[in-house]
């Protein structure tokens, strides 16, 4: 397949629909001690024995810190409409209250280069790399961190204003809060039920505090938040309650406060011993209107109750899986988007801000033939189109990821990129999935001229 095929009447063919690629700062930048940057919680976590596969870290990663110019050229040459990146908080505020002009200049150059090539810029303020100096004071377990995030949002948006086309406050607060502070498999590696829910509330509070600041400083930009979500399905009809609760804790817990001004009752009831302190006015702040909601989708869950009444996920061995072991289930993306559309009144437009597949990719004779990923994108683009046909307002799609990178606790063994990276030479090679993406976008632009 040398190009993704969209139906002639597909809404994805409309010129206003945004196609892009996505990355995040810690996963690609490297340069952790350069340009005035100080340590993040991921720099610290990577040095804990056994925390990351192979003892990998983001010290160099894809060396985007030095190679950003060629990377922006590569992005533009793909023909995408937009580039979704994140800003490293400790590169902007390396110490509490101290501004780093070098950090602002680094991102200024990237933003300018994107705009010079006609590429819109979607910026995430928090993609998990909390400054270590804030973690030393409790990190997201400390309510003050929400206010520190608002200060950071003030600095970034005051400098860039409307130069950033779309602002995202948080990326995947579920992962940052639950994997980082509840289950301990991500930075900062804290394990505790109560801690996970407390961190999640403080993150959402930080989002709420930042929204009016962003609107004031960038009145012509769009402002929102990105959630990861997996639809859940019951193994048997008697497991429907398990699937419902899986969705409630998996993404309603994070989306409901933003879009409904309340936490889901079933989670509050089931986790009553672990509920955070919610002060008067918190939910009013958190539920400030957003211009869009980003959805990151990779797979689904199939759930059942075990003999103890606990909810467990059930593997689907007969299904196709990616290299990371996640089931490929494109129908889940359609179902998820329709369920969200039905759940929330006055839902703002949505973007698919991440979607992709990890592969055991090898460079052979100058090529990476990633057939599974190519099929994955084809079927998931069709799934987005199907959701739009059912009335869901979706305005863009971002492939995860632009290039192979540091995949958090999996280190460098999982390759999500549509561009292959040789970590020894830093050579970039477009995989067949990237070539198909480029060809589709080229054909689409020709049709819309």
Binding-site residue positions: 27, 127, 171, 298, 400, 407-408
- Of 172, 195, 249, 382, the catalytic one is 172
Number of H helices, E strands in the chain: 17, 13
Q: Which two tokens stand for residue 274?
A: 């672990």
DSSP-derived pairing of the beta strands 427-430 and 419-422? antiparallel
Tell me how far apart the alpha carbons of residues 311 and 330 are, in angstroms, rounded to a whole number. Answer: 23
Q: Determine whether 172 is an active site residue.
A: yes
Residues making up the annotated binding site for substrate are: 27, 127, 171, 298, 400, 407-408
Q: Which two tokens stand for residue 200?
A: 């999640």
In the block, residue with structure tokens 């976590």: 45
Sequence-distant (6+) residues with CB within 8 A of 153 are 125, 169, 209, 210, 213, 214
Sequence-distant (6+) residues with CB within 8 A of 43 are 32, 57, 58, 59, 132
3-16: b (≥16 Cβ within 10 Å) or e: bbebeeebbbbeee
- Of 29, 195, 327, 354, the catalytic one is 354
Nearest to 170 by CA among 90, 226, 254: 226
Q: Are 202 and 254 in contact, with CB atoms under 8 Å apart? A: no
Tell me how far apart the alpha carbons of residues 109 and 115 are, in angstroms, rounded to a whole number. Answer: 10
Tell me how far apart the alpha carbons of residues 221 and 198 are, in angstroms, rounded to a whole number. Answer: 30
Q: CA torsion sign, 141 to 145 to 150 to 152? A: negative
Tell me how far apart the alpha carbons of residues 372 and 357 are, in angstroms, rounded to a whole number. Answer: 8
DSSP-derived pairing of the beta strands 232-234 and 301-305? parallel
Tell me how far apart the alpha carbons of residues 251 and 320 are, in angstroms, rounded to a whole number. Answer: 24
Q: CA torsion sign, 48 to 51 to 53 to 57? A: negative
Tell me how far apart the alpha carbons of residues 223 and 202 are, in angstroms, rounded to a whole number. Answer: 19
Tell me how far apart the alpha carbons of residues 262 and 252 are, in angstroms, rounded to a whole number. Answer: 10
- Residues marked active site are found at 172, 354
């Amino acid at each position: 397949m040398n190009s993704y095929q969209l139906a002639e009447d597909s809404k994805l063919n409309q010129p206003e629909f945004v196609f892009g690629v996505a990355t995040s700062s810690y996963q690609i930048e490297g340069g952790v001690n350069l340009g005035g940057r100080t340590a993040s919680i991921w720099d610290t976590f990577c040095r804990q024995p056994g925390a990351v596969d192979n003892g990998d870290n983001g010290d160099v990663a894809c060396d985007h810190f030095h190679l950003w110019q060629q990377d922006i050229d590569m992005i533009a040459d793909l023909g995408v409409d937009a580039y979704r990146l994140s800003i490293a908080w400790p590169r902007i505020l390396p110490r509490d209250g101290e501004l780093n002009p070098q950090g602002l200049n680094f991102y200024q150059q990237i933003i300018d280069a994107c705009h010079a090539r006609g590429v819109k810029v979607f910026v995430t303020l928090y993609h998990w790399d909390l400054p270590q100096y804030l973690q030393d004071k409790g990190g997201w377990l400390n309510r003050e961190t929400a206010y520190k995030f608002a200060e950071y949002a003030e600095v970034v948006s005051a400098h860039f204003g409307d130069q950033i086309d779309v602002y995202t406050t948080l990326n995947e607060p579920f992962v940052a809060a639950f994997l980082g502070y509840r289950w301990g498999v991500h930075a900062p590696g804290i394990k505790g039920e109560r801690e996970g829910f407390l961190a999640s509330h403080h993150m959402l509070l930080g989002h709420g505090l930042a929204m009016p600041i962003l609107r004031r400083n960038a009145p012509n930009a769009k402002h929102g938040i990105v959630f990861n979500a997996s639809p859940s399905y019951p193994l048997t009809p008697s497991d429907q309650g398990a699937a419902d609760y899986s969705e409630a804790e998996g993404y309603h817990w994070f989306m409901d406060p933003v879009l409904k001004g309340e936490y889901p009752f079933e989670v509050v009831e089931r986790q009553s011993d672990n509920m955070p302190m919610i002060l008067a006015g918190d939910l009013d702040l958190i539920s400030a209107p957003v211009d869009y909601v980003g959805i990151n989708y990779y797979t689904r869950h199939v759930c059942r109750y075990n003999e103890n009444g606990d909810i467990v996920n059930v593997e689907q061995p007969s299904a196709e899986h990616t290299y990371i072991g996640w089931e490929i289930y494109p129908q889940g993306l359609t179902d998820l988007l329709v369920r969200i559309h039905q759940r929330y009144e006055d839902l703002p437009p949505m973007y698919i801000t991440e979607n992709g597949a990890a592969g055991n990719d090898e460079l052979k004779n100058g090529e990476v033939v990633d057939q599974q990923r190519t099929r994955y994108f084809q079927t998931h683009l069709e799934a987005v189109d199907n959701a739009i046909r059912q009335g869901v307002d979706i305005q863009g799609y971002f492939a995860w990821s632009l290039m192979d990178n540091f995949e958090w606790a999996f280190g460098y063994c999982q390759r999500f990129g549509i561009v292959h990276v040789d970590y020894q030479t830093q050579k970039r090679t477009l995989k067949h999935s990237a070539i198909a993406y480029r060809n589709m976008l080229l054909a689409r632009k020709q049709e819309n001229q």
